[in-house]
Amino acid sequence: MRGLVAEVAVAAPLDKPLSYLVEKALADSLRIGMRVKVPLGRRTAIGYVIAIRSGETDRLKPLLEVLGEEPLFPSGMVELLRRAADYYQYPLGEVIRTALPVGLSTGNEASVLMESHYQPAPKDGEPRGPRQRTLLAHLRRVSCASRTDLLALFPGCHASLKALVGQGFVLEEQRERLRDPFADLPPVADVRLAMTEAQKQVFAEVEQAMHAGGFAPMLLHGVTGSGKTEIYLRSIEKVLQAGRQALVLVPEIALTPQLVSRFRSRFAGDRVCLAVLHSGLSAGERFDAWRSVARGDVDIVIGARSAVFAPLGRLGMIVVDEEHESSYKQGDGFRYHARDLALMRGQMEGALVLLGSATPALTTFYRARQGKLAYLSLPERVLDRPLPDVELIDLGRERPEGILAQPLKQALLANLERGEQSLLLLNRRGFAPYLLCADCGNALRCPHCDITLTFYLSQKVLRCNYCDYRQPPPEQCPTCHGAALLPEGAGTERLEQELRDLLPTARIARMDRDTTGRKGAHQSLVTAMENRSIDVLVGTQMVAKGLDFPGVTLVGVAQTDNLLNLPDFRAAERTFTLLTQVAGRAGRGERPGRVYVQTYAPEHFSLACCARHDYLAFAREELRLRQELGYPPFGFLAHCVFSGTDRQQVESMAESLAEGLADAAIGLGVEILGPAPCPLARLRGKNRYQILLKAPLRPPLRHLLAHLARLRRILPRAVILTVDVDPLDML
**Binding site membership for Zn(2+): which residues?**
437, 440, 446, 449, 464, 467, 477, 480
**What is the distance between the alpha carbons of residues 118 and 137, in angstroms, rounded to a whole number?**
12
Name 393's Cβ contacts closer than 8 Å, sequence gap at least 6: 405, 407, 408, 596, 597, 598, 599, 602
**What is the distance between the alpha carbons of residues 84 and 89, in angstroms, rounded to a whole number?**
8
CB-based contact 183:288 (threshold 8 Å): no
Give 492-495 contacts, CB < 8 A, sequence gap 24+: 492/426, 492/428, 492/429, 492/430, 492/538, 492/539, 492/540, 493/429, 493/430, 493/431, 493/456, 493/457, 493/458, 494/403, 494/430, 494/431, 494/432, 494/457, 495/403, 495/404, 495/424, 495/426, 495/538, 495/558
**What is the distance between the alpha carbons of residues 245 and 316, in angstroms, rounded to a whole number?**
5
**What is the distance between the alpha carbons of residues 704 and 150, in angstroms, rounded to a whole number?**
64
**What is the distance between the alpha carbons of residues 572 and 594, in angstroms, rounded to a whole number?**
22
Dihedral over Cα of 104, 106, 112, 113: its sign? negative
Distance of CA 43 to the CA centre of its chain: 35
Type and span of the H or E element at 667: none
- Tell me the residue type at 77: M
Q: What are phi and psi of 692, to 5 degrees?
A: -110, 125
Read off the DSSP letter of residue 185: P
Dihedral over Cα of 228, 232, 238, 242: its sign? positive
Type and span of the H or E element at 502: helix 492-502
Which parts are annotated binding residues?
437, 440, 446, 449, 464, 467, 477, 480
Q: Within 10 A of 156 (CB to CB), how many other CB atoms are there?
A: 8
- What are the CA-CA distances from residue 131 to residues 118, 136, 164, 167, 580 (Å)? 16, 9, 10, 14, 61
Dihedral over Cα of 566, 306, 286, 31: its sign? negative
Classify 703 as helix, strand or coil: helix
Q: What is the CA radius of gyration of the chain?
A: 29
Closest to 380 (Cα-Cα) out of 234, 198, 549: 198
Q: Within 10 A of 433 (CB to CB), how many other CB atoms are there?
A: 22
CB-based contact 226:383 (threshold 8 Å): no
**What is the distance between the alpha carbons of residues 630 and 618, in angstroms, rounded to a whole number?**
18
Distance of CA 153 to the CA centre of its chain: 38
Residue 182 burial (10 A CB sphere; 0-12, 13-18, 19+): middle
CB-based contact 2:54 (threshold 8 Å): yes
**What is the distance between the alpha carbons of residues 602 and 600, in angstroms, rounded to a whole number?**
6
HSE at residue 250, side-chain half, CA atoms within 13 A, is 21
**What is the distance between the alpha carbons of residues 558 and 492, in angstroms, rounded to a whole number?**
10
